[in-house]
Structures are given as C-alpha cells and as structure tokens.
Amino acid sequence: MKKLLQILVIAGLAYGLFGCAAKKTMDATYESEHAIEAEIISVGNDGTKMIKSWGYAKTPELALIDAKRKAVKAAIFHGFAAGGGSAKVGPIVKDENAKTEHKAFFDEFFKDGGKYLQYVNSKNVGMPSGEDRLKMKKGYKVAASVSIEFDSLRKHLEEKGIARSLDAGF
Amino acid sequence: MKNIVLTISVLLLAVSMFAQPAKKPTIMVVPSDQYCISRDYKQEFNNQGETKVLPDYKKALQNDSDLRLVISKMSGIMADRGFPLKDLEQELKKLENERAQKDMTISSSTGMGLAESPIDALLRTAKADIIMDLSFEIKRRGPQQYITYILNGYDAYTSKNIASSSGAGEPSSAATPDVLLEEAVLAHMDEFNDRLMNHFKDMFEKGREVTIQVLVNDAAMDNLESEYTWKGKTGELSQLINAWFIMNTVEKRFSRATSTANLLIMDQVRMPMFTEDPWTGEKVGQDTQDFAYKLRDWLEDEIGLADPIKIAPKGLGEVWLIIGGK
C-alpha cells in the first residue's frame, strides 16, 4: 500500500512537472511577442498598411481576433519587412524598454475589446478558409488580412508620449 | 540643503533645455541630376572656364506633371510628420531676385570671387538643411507598368547621405501611372523617415557636422605657420586653431584634413546645436557662420591676430575664414 502511494505521488509529480513545461512551451508560442507572424501584402491607402497576420486560439473566431491584435502589436513593436511593393516599415515604438515602462498602458490597450481595435480593420469576408485556416493539435492558426491605421496609431502613441515623434527636440 | 540645491539645479537645467528647442531642420525635395538631365531639363554653367551640365529645376517643374505630383504627395506626408517642406519653385524665384545683389557683393570683395555653382547658390538661398534627392521612372513589362523609385536624403551641410529608400513597385496593368506614383511615395516614406529619425538622434547627441576652411590671402602679413603665444605657450597659428576646435566641438570631434602654411581644412567638425547670442545672451540654434564668427573673434581678441578675417560661407555646411581677406 505504501509502495503504491509512493508510485502515485511520483507519477503525480512527474505529470505536474511535464504538464506545466508543455503548457509553458505552448504559451511561449502563443503569447510571445517574438512569435508574431505578420507581413505587408500591399501598399495601403494614405496612412494605412495592408497586413497579413496569423493568430492562434482554440477556436477560429478567437484566432481571428488574436491575428488582429498581433497585427497591431507588430506595427508598434516590430515593424514589417519589405514586401508587397512596400519598403521596410520600422516599428512605431523604437525604445525597447517602452513595453515594460508603459506596461499598464499596453495592457489596457490590448485587452479584449481594447482600444487597439480602433486601428485595425479586417478585410476578410467571413472566416478565413483554405490555407489561411489551419487546424492544429490544440486549436487553430488563422491568417487575417487587415488594414492598419498606421498613421493614426503612430499619432496616438506620440500624443501619449510613448513613441518619439520625428520632430521631437525641435 | 544639498538636496534642495540639487533639485533646483535639475529644474533649471530642464527648463533651459525645454524652453529652447533646437533649430528645426528645413527640408526640400529636389529632383536628382540624373532625373533632370536624362529628361533634358538641364542648363550649362561656366565654372572658371570649364563648362558643366547642371539640372534646370525651373524647367523640370514647369514641364513635368509627374514630378509635381510626387513632390506634392511627399510634402503632405512630411508636413504631417512636423516638417513642412520648402517649396523648390518658390526658392528658385527667391534665388533669381537675389542673384543681382550677390554679383554686386562679390565684385566689392578683394578679388577672391567664390566659384559658387547654381546648386550651391540654391542651397544657400533656400537654407534647406536636408535635401531629398528624388528620381523615379515609369517602366513597362509587357502590358504592365511599374515604378522604380529612389529617394536619398542628403545633409546639405556635409553632402553626406543620411537617409534613403529605393525599390521597384508591384507591376500593374490596371493602375494608372498617377496611382502607381502615389503608391511608390507611400511605400517608401516610412523607411526614409525612420532613417531620418536616426540622423536627428545622432545630431542631438554628437552635434551638427560641418567643415571650416582657414585660408591665407596674398595680402596677409601672417600665415598659418606664424608663431603666436596663448596662455604662455607659443605655437604655430594652425596649432592654436586646432586647440580652439578641441575646446569648441562636441566631444572634441573634428578632423584636420589638410594643414599647410596657407590652408587649413577642418572637416567632420561636430559643432554644438546651440549657441548663446553674443548680444542678447539668448540660447539659440547655431549655424556654421555663427560658429565661424566665434573662431574669428577668438583669433582677433585672444590671439591678437593683426590681419583682418573675412568670413565667406560656401553652401550651408562650409565656411571659409580668409585671413587678410577684408
């Protein structure tokens, strides 16, 4: 009986340990800022960028929302590589510490239904399908084609003192 | 008590820093030489017997609607970023008015006529700190059209390339050239402005880069090898001038490019962005001429140089100090 108990405890511990590790790995993929996949698909109209961005979630609907959020995050913190006829676009916020310095602002900005939604418009008609909607082991990976109000977003962050404006100091 | 003094000092420093913003650089879009000359918007300029082919901006602006469209689009974007562009056409008109006056000024000097090309004259008159040198071409590939676009930003002070963006747009058979041109501007301005921002950051940290030449006129009594004493130490005039640059440049950044008895060229000189106006004591943005006046005053007042010194600006980022030149 004592041995059985020992085995159960060890098994329980092992599950807890590896289970957590696996969850953390998934979180790193799903939540990490470095896992953002976004690219320019074409030159937008005045002040906008046309972006294709991927999101991950348990349902396609949530993955689509995640893709929109990640498109805005990419515009703010990462920028976009050249593509779709456009030159490279640098991140709006160039200070690497801004994310931690203004954590409260960004948490509020990117919360569910947050202000970030004002700066991103989906160009998808209905749910993405085909190669833009992939079923994965633990959910869905969905690509959204979005238009980002890049200039308005930049101005908003400049006004909040988070991004440095081009004429700062003059 | 110590804390109070420290706090007051920090506050005063902050007030002085924020009360006096740096002189905002002015920017002007100019079509590139290649763009103008390849489209026959050119003029010939006689530079001391040598004929040079130069772009004719006036002709380009009067005849090229594509160019006007691109400049107008760029102007809108730059104004939105806090930098309204100088209008090339207006500056050309200003230059025409100034030309007659300038000819008179040169003839009254001591014969050291400045060989200033129309481009140098334009830059000096427009006083644009940054030139956006633009060229583009509408190309065809079968039924499709696309735009190749090159935008280079030059610091008018040093002629150094400080920002650039170039590339070819996506070919299209449906879009008109106007739409493609507008798209090309939109596609490249963000990259250009990102690089421009890096340049401004560098300028604030390390000062503005200029060139100062000290020349000796035939009529002068001294040359740059003449010996003078300052603070009990005797040295050649060029050594003393070198010492002035050590004292007056940001982080002692400058390079002595040439040093002979009659010519001293200091380039990559990083002069401070601000200076104190000698009359009002106000902290103001500094240009190359202000910086050169300080050197002249120091040579006259501190070193006791007997020869008069003429200050001759050449473009925006270069000034000649001519010893014995007045």
Distance CA B275, CA B250 (A): 12
Measured between beta carbons, which residues in chain B are less than 8 angstroms from residue A45? 186
* pLDDT by position in tens, chain A (length 170): 567 667 666 665 555 555 444 444 444 444 455 578 999 998 888 889 999 999 999 999 999 999 999 999 999 999 999 998 899 999 999 988 898 999 999 999 999 999 999 999 988 777 888 888 898 888 899 999 999 999 999 999 999 999 999 998 77
The pLDDT of residue A23 is 45
Distance from chain centroid for Cα B183: 30
Residues contacting residue B238 through CB under 8 Å, at least 6 positions apart: B214, B224, B225, B259, B264
Distance CA B292, CA B271 (A): 10
Q: Any alpha helices (H) in B81-176, and if so which ranges? A: 88-107, 118-126
The pLDDT of residue B209 is 92
Name the residue among B100, B83, B94, B91 with its Cα closest to residue B61: B91
Distance CA A40, CA A48 (A): 11
Provide the ipTM. 0.76
Tokens of B283: 């902290």
- Which H or E run includes A18? helix A2-31
For residue A167, give the chain B residue with the closest CA. B82
The pLDDT of residue A4 is 67
The pLDDT of residue B18 is 44
Name the residue among A107, A128, A108 with its Cα closest to residue A65: A128
Strand partners, A49: A43, A148
User: Measured between CB atoms, which of B23, B187, B192 is closest to A86?
Assistant: B187
Distance CA B134, CA A124 (A): 37
Shortest distance, CA A26 to any CA of chain B (angstroms): 34
Confidence tier at B311 by pLDDT (50, 70, 90): very high
Provide, rounded to the nearest whole percent, the portion of chain B with pLDDT above 90.
Answer: 56
Residues contacting residue B67 through CB under 8 Å, at least 6 positions apart: B31, B35, B60, B61, B134
Tens digits of per-residue pLDDT, B253-273? 999 999 999 999 999 999 998
What CA dihedral angle connects B188, B189, B190 and B193, to 10 degrees? Answer: 130
Q: Does A89 touch chain B (CB under 8 A)?
A: yes
Cα dist from B153 to A96, B28, B191, whole Å? 26, 10, 12
Q: Does A5 touch chain B (CB under 8 A)?
A: no
Q: Do B187 and A170 touch (CB under 8 A)?
A: no
pLDDT surpasses 50 at B111: no
Q: Residue A18: how many CA atoms within 13 Å on its side-chain side?
A: 5
User: Measured between CB atoms, which of B83, B169, B183 is closest to A167?
Assistant: B83
Distance CA A148, CA A121 (A): 6
Confidence tier at B93 by pLDDT (50, 70, 90): confident
pLDDT surpasses 60 at B196: yes
Distance CA B61, CA B55 (A): 11
Distance CA B324, CA B309 (A): 6
For residue A86, give the chain B residue with the closest CA. B187
Between CA B217 and CA B261, with CA B265 as vertex, the angle to 5 degrees is: 45
Tens digits of per-residue pLDDT, B2-23? 555 555 454 444 444 444 566 7
Name the residue among B70, B64, B87 with its Cα closest to residue B189: B70
Distance CA B202, CA B208 (A): 9
pLDDT surpasses 80 at B86: yes
Provide, rounded to the nearest whole percent, the portion of chain B with pLDDT above 70.
Answer: 85
Q: Residue A15: how many CA atoms within 13 Å on its side-chain side?
A: 6
The pLDDT of residue B12 is 43
Tokens of B187: 């596609």
Q: Do B22 and A170 touch (CB under 8 A)?
A: yes
Cα dist from A22 to A16, A26, A30, A55, A58, whole Å? 10, 6, 12, 20, 16
Q: What is the pTM of this model?
A: 0.77
